[in-house]
Amino acid sequence: MKKSLIALALLAPLSASACITGHWVQEVSNGGGIITLENSAVLKVNPSQQYITSIWLPTDELIICPKGGSIFSVIDKNDTGSDQVITKLLDGGL
Q: Digits of tens for pLDDT over the chain (94 positions)?
A: 444 433 334 334 434 459 999 999 999 999 999 999 999 999 999 999 999 999 999 999 999 999 999 999 999 998 766 689 999 999 999 8
pTM comes to: 0.79
Q: For residue 27, what pLDDT is reported?
A: 98
For the chain, the structural domain boundaries read 20-91
Q: For residue 94, what pLDDT is reported?
A: 87
Residues 6+ apart with CB under 8 A from 67: 73, 86
Nearest-angstrom CA–CA distance, 62 and 54:
14
Nearest-angstrom CA–CA distance, 7 and 12:
9
